[in-house]
Structure 1
Amino acid sequence: MSIEERIREVEQKISAACERSGRSREDVQVIAVTKYVSLDTTKEAFRSGLAHLGENRWQDAQEKWFALSGDPELPEENRPVWHFIGSLQTNKVKDVIGRFTYIHSLDRLSLAEAIHKKASQLGIVVPCFIQVNVSGEESKHGLRPEELEPFLEKLSVYPSVSPIGLMTMAPYESEPEETRVVFRALRELRDGVRGRSPYGERLEHLSMGMSNDFEVAIEEGATWIRLGTILVGKEEES
């Protein structure tokens, strides 16, 4: 199946999920996760209209980034918008900040400090999703839900870090419906903290839902979904 065919099929599923939940299609943005595909496939995905690309490790992303975004003469509209969706080590911040527009995995103050330091040097503000481990799985990164509000209070000392929402990863389930409780919990957590945190309505977004469960995530309020295999396929291990 070509990427164009995959896009059409996914688009139908997104539109149907929005209709079922009474949402506008424009409320949901798609990130094409290219970590398991080649540079050529990544280029094809971008040419096919997938403007937002997601990678989870700089060492795997750098060839694609330099090929698609490395030319400083290239107009901004001809470059992808890059999302860093994996766990970010503080020693990799220098490589990622300034190249990736969005960070989806802010989960500790030491990382916020490193992002702020690099962003300040570049004169930019970095939109970040705070990763919350809603499911409580030991294998997953993220704050515990009860840690979110204290974390938000402490973030205010890093003005180059701009939290715009929350991110979570649900456990893989053979029945996607079983992930609903996780996505609903993240939405309810977001709704609860918006009125009490210093960031208020700026905590707008929910980055949740992947190839196996994105339709349920949309029904529960996802504003960004991260789609790899179902959208661009899988060619190689990263």
Structure 2
Amino acid sequence: MTREELESRVERVRQELEEASAGRYPIPKLIAVTKTHSAEEILPLAEMGITDIGENRVQELLTKLPELQDRFQIHLIGRLQRNKVKQIVGDVCMIQSVDSEPLAREIHNRALAAGRRMPVLVEISPAGEEQKGGVPFEETEAFLKQIAPLEGIEIRGLMAVMPLTEDQDYLDGLFARTRGLFDRIRDKNLSGIVMEELSMGMSGDYRLAAAHGATMVRVGSAIFGPRG
């Protein structure tokens, strides 16, 4: 892909996010999902105003980190094994996929050892898909209260991965339900829990996500094009 094509794709996504938000919500932050892409492919995004990228796999992130860490805020957005936390806790700006108490506690311990508090999002499961990570929808508030006392983490909001489906009405309902949960928890002002980020929406559904008030969208193929 040429630089011009990449820039055109980025601009198109931005324009669609602005149109979908329609003045009802702030335009969400665009996080470029960079898995499977080399540092050489990613670096031009910095000159296009992209400040945040999302990586799914720790090992892949570590190979690219020396070239990217001074140019971008890096979010860990994929499922994270506890034994990998120590490898990235000092280098990412946020972990978006916290969905268990043992993982939250490991992040807490490693962050304190590194002298920081790690911003995290709690991943929820809007559709209850067993094969995916995420706290069950109805257990979200209880889980947040369970991990809130951990001083090494800073709970900043929720993250959701929607199912792959062409049923736009179904997706619309899931986005609305997720936004409703976010608003209800935020309005309770629970101790140790800050509801300011709602990360939802990917290449296939970021317009719907923006229409329902996502504060972050995680977009890969709509920027880089499909692989293969």
Same fold (TM over 0.5): yes
| 1:145 matches 2:148 | no
Instruction: Trace 1:83-232 onto structure 2 (pairs within 5 A).
Output: 83-194=75-186, 195=188, 197-199=190-192, 202-232=194-224
C-alpha deviations, 1:205-234, integer Å up to 9, x for none?
110000000000111110000000001234
2:61 aligns with 61
In structure 2, distance between residues paired with 1:146 and 1:23: 25
Write the letter of the residue equivalent to 1:185.
Answer: R
C-alpha deviations, 1:139-190, integer Å up to 9, x for none?
2111111211221222133111111111111111224443111111111111
C-alpha deviations, 1:85-121, integer Å up to 9, x for none?
0001000000111111111100011011110111101
CA contact (8 A) 1:106 1:129 kept: yes
Q: Number of matched residues?
A: 224
In structure 1, distance between residues paired with 2:53 and 2:227: 16
Write the letter of the residue equivalent to 1:45.
Answer: L
In structure 2, distance between residues paired with 1:177 and 1:199: 35
Higher normalized strand content (fraction of residues) = 2
CA contact (8 A) 1:134 1:182 kept: yes
In structure 2, distance between residues paired with 1:111 and 1:144: 16
Report % sequence identity: 33
CA contact (8 A) 2:148 2:155 kept: no
Write the letter of the residue equivalent to 1:23.
Answer: Y
Q: Normalising by structure 1, what TM-score? A: 0.88
In structure 2, distance between residues paired with 1:175 and 1:230: 19
C-alpha deviations, 1:193-212, integer Å up to 9, x for none?
22063245x21211000000
In structure 1, distance between residues paired with 2:85 and 2:78: 12
| 1:23 matches 2:16 | no
Structure 2: give runs of 5+ residues left out of the alignment.
Answer: none
In structure 2, distance between residues paired with 1:193 and 1:22: 20
2:46 aligns with 46
Structure 1: give runs of 5+ residues left out of the alignment.
Answer: 70-77
Superposition deviation, residue 47 in structure 1: 3.0
